[in-house]
Amino acid sequence: GVDESNAPTCMQEVFSGVLAAASKGAGGAHASGAAGVDESNAPTCVPEVIETVAKPAETRSGSCGTKAPRESIEERALKLVPQLEEEELEDMELMRERSQTLATLKRLRRSGSRLVESSRAKFREMRSDPWRTFERSVKSNAFEAFFMGIIILNALVLAYQVELSGIVLGHQLEVKGYSEEASLSGLKISESLSVADRFFTVLFVIEMLLRMLAYGPSWLCSLWNYFDLCVVIAAVSGWVAADEVTVDPMGLRLIRFCRMMRLARILRSQKLLHSLNVLVVSLGASTSMLLWSLCFLCGIQAFAAILLCQVVHWYLATHEVDAAVQVEAFRYYGTMWRAL
């Protein structure tokens, strides 16, 4: 903070002060001692003072601990550049996340509004034209898929009933491995499954009535509908004839066999029919459809096994056959799994 233009004046003042202190001599020992001036160092101190005054202000450093040189603005700016770049990158990443969040919220809002609007439109349509809504529901793929699942479930129940009847017959023929306890448990389970069988019959009757109402007179134009009618009539006849003691057991088994024909209704779906046609054509050379080919063949085998079991059971129950022949026939066709 020294003004260089005033440097000569300052030097004269310093010289005059120093010379005045040195000219006092020995007589002024008490005064110089009180002032704290060392006379022996007076000549040496003068060059130091001159050198100190002559240096620039920012490079001075004396024995009195003057301030260190200050950093320039450029150096400070260079040190702040990396920090500013990091802060800028963080701000950009935060802005990107916010923009993505806003875009996601906008998409969710649009999809939610569309879903609400479609639901409102369907509800308004149901209120304005309930008959059309009923027709659309009956003709939908969901309705078709639901009853396809019911048909498959009914077929599984029927196959299990045939297996249980085979266990009972094995106990009656005193075949090894078929105990009385297994026979009694099979009879109890068969009674429980008969309730499920009647439930399935009620569902199929309701389905046929709904289709008649939805399709109207055009229902009579499809041969599949006549097939459904025959199957439903056979199921209801079996239900009614189950309480009659005088009914031929073979007739009941034939009715059950007709009920198994419900599986053929799967072919009425055009989509499934196309897939099955492709499956049959590519059965020998296909590798990607190996699983479906196996399912298709297992279905055919199960269908034949149920038929053979019912025929053998009827023959053994109504004809006088040698015991050895009965055991041999039961060994191959007594139960569904043996027939398979």
Vertex 169: Cα angle to 168 and 175 (nearest 5): 100
In degrees to the nearest 10, what's the CA dihedral of 239, 243, 245, 246? -50
Q: What is the largest CA-CA distance in the chain?
A: 165
Question: CA 220: distance to chain centroid?
Answer: 44
Report the alpha-carbon distance of residue 186 to residue 161 in Å, rounded: 9
User: Which amino acid is present at 164?
Assistant: L
Of the CA atoms within 13 Å of residue 54, those in its CB half-sphere come to: 6
Indicate if the pLDDT at residue 268 is higher than 70. Answer: no
* pLDDT score for 261: 63
* 134-339 has CATH 1.20.120.350 classification: yes
User: Which amino acid is present at 143?
Assistant: F
Question: Which tens digit of pLDDT belongs to each residue from 103-117?
Answer: 888 888 888 888 887
Lowest mean pLDDT among 169-183, 275-289, 323-337: 275-289
Please state the domain extents for the chain.
4-59, 73-128, 134-339
Tokens linked to 215: 């399709």
Tokens linked to 127: 């209120």
Question: Which tens digit of pLDDT belongs to each residue from 283-332?
Answer: 666 666 677 778 888 888 888 888 888 888 888 877 777 878 888 888 88
Average pLDDT over residues 228-234: 82
> Is 259 buried (19+), middle (13-18) or exposed (0-12) by CB count in 10 A?
buried
* pLDDT score for 310: 83
Q: Which helix (H) or strand (E) holds 319?
A: none
Question: Which tens digit of pLDDT belongs to each residue from 1-56?
Answer: 444 444 445 455 555 555 555 555 444 444 444 444 444 444 444 455 445 544 44
Indicate if the pLDDT at residue 247 is higher than 80. Answer: no
Reference 269, options 135, 148, 137, 133; nearest CA is 148
* pLDDT score for 216: 87
Give percent of the chain above pLDDT 70.
64
Indicate if the pLDDT at residue 201 is higher than 50. Answer: yes
Q: How much is the mean pLDDT over the chain?
A: 72
* pLDDT score for 242: 63
DSSP of 50-117, one letter per residue? HHHHHS-GGG---TT-PPPPPPPHHHHHHHHHHHHHHHHHHHHHHHHHHHHHHHHHHHHHHHHHHHHH
Give percent of the chain above pLDDT 90.
1
DSSP of 135-157, one letter per residue? HHHHTSHHHHHHHHHHHHHHHHH
Residue that the structure tokens 């100190």 belong to: 52
